[in-house]
Structure 1
């Protein structure tokens, strides 16, 4: 049997920009817009300030830009910082089935490499498309199995996508690409113990993935070797992290119809800065709020019917979900998130502020949100939400969101994604600068030097 890394490397080595379907090119340009906006927004948070300070200490240099300021860093430092900042609001796109945040590390890595190598825009788009596709496919072999084992899929799977992305941009040969993937297996990580106490380490995972993938490709180019069966081998990624003979990865998902069927098409943009599996419930509840003019004092109880796999992600343990200690805690709480959305009428960049986390009106409603497990609901391939609101007068209101907003089946428009970008960069970029950056991103394939594009993210802020 031909090893998976060899098949993937053959595909990556032969792929050209002209081979990309137009819809993949269009989506990739929008993902670049989205990630840059999210990273700039993340830089406005205390977490972002800490990451910027650490990057300056850990990665002195001037090879690449950290977006939304005038700071520069080494290539690895910029990839790490921009990747980490882009997840600070839990607002970055997700491949539904694997729950991999694939674009944050891919865009951060490709543009940092592009700054250093003076790559063309087409090379950057191609690289991001490659990284996203491989991250999605690697994560799709055993969906739903990793969160419950304490692993963040983005930390486990995205480094592999970035390693092939970086290998492509650095013109590695097939043997070197295989070694780069093998080396990446030593970097794959992603523990989510931070969910227990609401700390911030999960936000670092896209940064680690971006940095690790580039490092692995660079090491392989220099002659360091890595195992050829890092995914399917006896001590490979799946054997080591699943450790369950009852779970058999679907290896066909990894390489079947490469280039013909793009798994990244099944990734969703995020209209809300919260765990993606909560999104259909937010949309359903906000529709009920608008349709019936609901306020928190009219509500006796909110019940959510949920698929079994999301319980340990956003519903339990109850004490953590009902009393979030921080914004990162709140973003993965179904109960709190729905309460804040209903009380405030929106869930945007400014959500989960400390004053909201202590607001008694929100916390009181949080305690009135319950869930019921429904085994007939779809798995992670379709984020569906079923919600029932019981009013104090006994009226029952029900709403269903079949597919989360931002998915292929219920897409956000280009205008909505650009509006999200504008909101995220407000306070850092001027309105004129934001428009120039959007226009440039949507025409990135015409740039002969990516560094001319990333210059548009520079401001007088530090």
Structure 2
């Protein structure tokens, strides 16, 4: 009987552009546009500057570093562009697995396009394949990894990128299965950085992009890896979870593969913050606008939360109420809701140093209380409930059933384009941004997708 990775590799080897549903093609275009904008914006941060400076470790001219005039090897550019795309915690997420699948996939695919001159059709196909398989690997045991200190994107996205790269590099099914086995030794991602607000989590999409490319290249060149990398005795899930509850459901890897597209259940981000906080932000901002709320009016803000997110964005309480850095604040429900109510927004400029030290915001964060509620849905649905009580005794409750950006409450194409334009502002000219939008929206008609990266060099770069 074939292992899961062998079955998945056979599917990749037999899948072409015409097998990708039209709606998946359409969403893939938007994911390409979104990730490019996020990477360029992230590259302008101190974190991005440090990541870009490491490109010298991967010398070469094969692939471009977006938003600069620089280049690197394909693997090096995939790392840099992928890591920068997470710097603002603004990239899309598969709800159930909480995998950031598109940032490493787009970074890897376009880096390989620069090297191989792959067509736009091939790029769309590869990204759709990679995203689908990252989501499926992450759905074998949803909600199990964060609480053990692992970042799902660091563990699962390398596999999607491996198959994406296998498609673009022309590997056969056997080579892809061996490459997936190799990827198991590359997949990694600790989130100890959430304790002190350091930045290592943002590297994970970059490592995933680089690791997937390298694993595929090794598999193509005859290096072997275990076929039972998922379900094996020392495979990914047995080694990392030890005693999983519930047991891993390996059927999620292959059942209805190519018929049911799990990646459809993924959300774009309108806010640069952990995705599970999004519905709470929208609910709170509606209450703020409706009742003209200001921080001095607030007695308390209470939020029921699904138990699985407590260790992600709610505890330890003092740590969450006093984030050390912007990255620390992006995974705090208490601080984020306080800043949202105080300033009326959570945008690209959120979590600034002066906000993180603002006594008004911090005092309000002390009045945000969470309550674990087993009745709240799991990660398949990001729901938010906010109750605000004022000092004069009034109270209101607002519910956001589905996070904005999800399939049930989608962002419009225009909103995603506006987000892209905001993110590239100051780096690309308005004309350059328009040309990027035009090319991405017709990417499947482009004979050589490296033409897209050529548009991402600033006029001054």
TM-score > 0.5, shorter chain as reference: yes
1:31 maps to which residue? 31
5+ unaligned residues in a row in structure 1: which ranges?
Answer: none
1:246 deviates by 4.0
> Which deviates more, 291-300 or 306-315?
291-300
> Which deviates more, 427-436 or 201-210?
427-436
1:12 aligns with 2:46: no
Q: Distance in 2 between matches of 1:247 and 1:217?
A: 32
1:142 deviates by 0.7
1:461 deviates by 4.9
Q: Distance in 1 between matches of 2:364 and 2:40?
A: 32
2:209 maps to which residue? 210
1:422 aligns with 2:417: no
1:460 deviates by 4.0
1:239 maps to which residue? 238
1:21 maps to which residue? 21
Residues 103-154 of structure 1 show CA distances to partners (whole Å, capped at 9, x for unaligned) of 0000000000000000000100000000000000000011000000000000
Question: Normalising by the residue count of structure 1, what TM-score does the alignment of the two structures yield?
Answer: 0.99
Q: Distance in 2 between matches of 1:34 and 1:344?
A: 25
2:40 maps to which residue? 40
1:2 deviates by 2.1
1:247 deviates by 3.1
Q: Distance in 2 between matches of 1:210 and 1:449?
A: 21
2:387 maps to which residue? 388
Q: Distance in 1 between matches of 2:268 and 2:328?
A: 21
Is the 8 Å Cα contact of residues 182 and 225 (structure 1) preserved in structure 2?
yes
1:133 aligns with 2:127: no
Spell out the pairing of 1:11-410 with structure 2 (5 A cutoff). Answer: 11-55=11-55, 57-244=56-243, 246-410=245-409
Task: Output the aligned Cα RMSD.
Answer: 0.8
1:245 deviates by 5.3
Q: Distance in 2 between matches of 1:298 and 1:436?
A: 47
CA pair 392-461 structure 1, distance change in 2 beyond 3 A: farther
Is the 8 Å Cα contact of residues 70 and 460 (structure 1) preserved in structure 2?
no
Is the 8 Å Cα contact of residues 429 and 458 (structure 2) preserved in structure 1?
no
Residues 282-334 of structure 1 show CA distances to partners (whole Å, capped at 9, x for unaligned) of 01001111111111111110000000000000000012101100000000000
Q: What SS does the corresponding residue of 2:455 show, helix, strand or coil?
A: helix
Q: How many residues align?
A: 461
Q: Distance in 1 between matches of 2:460 and 2:246?
A: 50
Residues 232-289 of structure 1 show CA distances to partners (whole Å, capped at 9, x for unaligned) of 1000000001100543111111111111110010000000000000000001001111
Is the 8 Å Cα contact of residues 144 and 244 (structure 2) preserved in structure 1?
no
Q: Distance in 2 between matches of 1:420 and 1:347?
A: 13
1:176 deviates by 0.3
Question: Normalising by the residue count of structure 2, what TM-score does the alignment of the two structures yield?
Answer: 0.99
Q: Distance in 1 between matches of 2:66 and 2:289?
A: 37
Residues 192-227 of structure 1 show CA distances to partners (whole Å, capped at 9, x for unaligned) of 000011000000000000000000000010110000
Residues 329-381 of structure 1 show CA distances to partners (whole Å, capped at 9, x for unaligned) of 00000000011111111111111111111111111111111101110111000
1:432 deviates by 1.3
Q: What SS does the corresponding residue of 1:50 show, helix, strand or coil?
A: helix
CA pair 128-362 structure 1, distance change in 2 beyond 3 A: same
1:387 deviates by 0.7
5+ unaligned residues in a row in structure 2: which ranges?
Answer: none
